[in-house]
Amino acid sequence: MIHRSLFREEHDLFRESVRKFIEREIKPYNRQWEEDGIVPRELWRKAGELGLLCCSVPEQYGGLGLDYLFDVVVIEEMARSGYTGPGFMIHTDLVATYIRSFGSEAQRREWLPRMVKGEAIGALGMTEPHAGSDLKNIRTRARRDGDDFVINGQKVFISNGQLCDVLVLAAQTSSEAGPTGISLFLVDTKLPGFVRGKNLDKLGMKAQDTSELFFEDLRVPASSMLGGEGEGFPLMMTKLAQERLAQAVRSAALSEAVIEWTVDYTSQRNAFGKTIADFQNTQFKLAELKTDSVVGRVFTDRCIELFMKDQLDSIDAAMAKMYMSNLHCRVVDECLQFFGGWGYMWEYPIARAYADARIVKIAGGAIEVMKHIIGRSLFNPKKSADKRSTDAVTNVTGTN
């Protein structure tokens, strides 16, 4: 097995603390949370107390000022556990990142310390019923009214939507359609006019709340804007690589975990006088999946290295996201077959992993969008992928 050289001793020690947190604070309660369709806010506060949220937020904003690899460790260990309730990835990797990158000093000081502690939960409000992977067509409008903006519209598939205290919201601020009319706002969800819709009943990720959100004459101060007016679309484009890298990291970790579950199960389960692991078909199939997962892991780790050097472009991120999403779905499907009827029972992690897996081909940009980005680059190799990028970000559940 290829040694992962990314992590140092401090990362390994932190990984152990994350695993203990999951075992103690998530595992015993996950089944109930799946029935409830939501995790309790107390879990977020406990995660904040242990430094599991927004690890790389600078100390001046209440964080620990650690490197990105600490955030990666949390993503990986949550994925390996098979528990999808806490939307930590969206909170940390997306919302906090938007505030750090584009927020004013006042916005950073207002929200980041609370997000680090788990006292304020973040969500990303971009996807609409008519605008998923094509955010240029969003219809939520923000109309200028003196020193305020008045927002009306609707969002859907919003992870952390039932719990969120702060929302990064994309809205049209100009009568001119398309990307030049989109702006981003940092919305305090306690404001009048912010309305939470129903908690959506999903195929998988049962314990993670996913909502419709409505804005009914929601009045926000102009100072709540992230970046400048009309800059929303290019700002969103700058974070695509990070979002898609996080999706690849999660898929890589979960794929490895599923293979491990399957090796353990087939080594113990007997059929026709021997274990299932003794059959050539089992060994050959798992050999293929293991090889593909190692190849995907090496590429994903390389993308992490590039990201930490600020050198990861949208093409490489799209390839990582596409490859690992496809592998993720294939691994859970082919491994479930070895479990037979037990693989269809919800009490087995493989069953939950199967139901959860399908979203990875949609969240963070559909696979078809990834193919378009990669394919287009083949015919325009001299152009900057970032400058050419007009694809959109998706906030379908599980982007975290």
Going along the chain from its start, the domains and CATH numbers come out as 9-89+100-120 (1.10.540.10), 124-231 (2.40.110.10), 239-388 (1.20.140.10)
Amino acid at 224: S
Contact between residue 320 and residue 254 where contact means Cβ atoms under 8 Å apart: no
Is 168 in contact with 125 (CB distance < 8 Å)? yes
Residue 96: is its pLDDT beyond 60? yes
At which residue do the structure tokens 């996950």 appear? 30
Exposure class string for 139-172: b at 16+ Cβ within 10 A, else e: ebbbeeeeebbbbbbbbbbbbbbbbbbbbbbbbb
Could you tell me the end-to-end alpha-carbon distance of the chain, in angstroms, rounded to an integer? 28
Place 308 in a pLDDT band, splitting at 50, 70 and 90: very high
Please choose, from the candidates 328, 400, 320, the residue with its C-alpha nearest in 3D space to the C-alpha of residue 358: 328
Q: What residues act catalytically? A: 243
CA distances from 232 to 160, 190, 228, 237 (A): 21, 23, 8, 9
- Asked if 226 and 99 count as a contact pair (C-beta separation under 8 A), the reply is yes
Cβ–Cβ < 8 Å for 139, 132: no
Instruction: Identify the residue whose tokens are 């493989």.
Output: 350
Model confidence at 385: pLDDT above 80:
no
Residues of the chain with pLDDT > 70, as a percent, come to 94
**pLDDT band with cut points at 50, 70 and 90 for residue 395:** very low
Q: Tokens at residue 309, please?
A: 């050097």
* CA nearest to 107, candidates 118, 96, 117: 96
What's the pLDDT at 383?
60
Mean pLDDT confidence for 281-287: 98
User: 191-220: per-residue pLDDT in tens?
Assistant: 999 999 999 999 999 999 999 999 999 999
The pLDDT confidence band at residue 244, using thresholds 50, 70 and 90, is very high
Integer Cα distance of 165 and 167 in angstroms: 7
Do 200 and 325 meet the contact criterion of CB atoms below 8 Å apart?
no
**Band (131; pLDDT cuts 50, 70, 90):** confident
| DSSP assignment string, 150-190 | EEEEEEEEEETTTT-SEEEEEEE-SSS-SGGGEEEEEEETT
The overall average pLDDT reported for the chain is: 93
Task: Give Dmax over CA atoms of the chain in angstroms.
Answer: 79
Q: What is the pLDDT of residue 175?
A: 74
Q: Alpha carbon of 124 to those of 65, 97, 105, 117, 151: distances in Å? A: 23, 11, 20, 19, 16
The first and second tokens of residue 293, run together, are 């997962």
- What pairs with residue 152 in β-bridges? 141
User: pLDDT digits over 154-179, tens only?
Assistant: 999 999 999 999 999 999 998 776 67
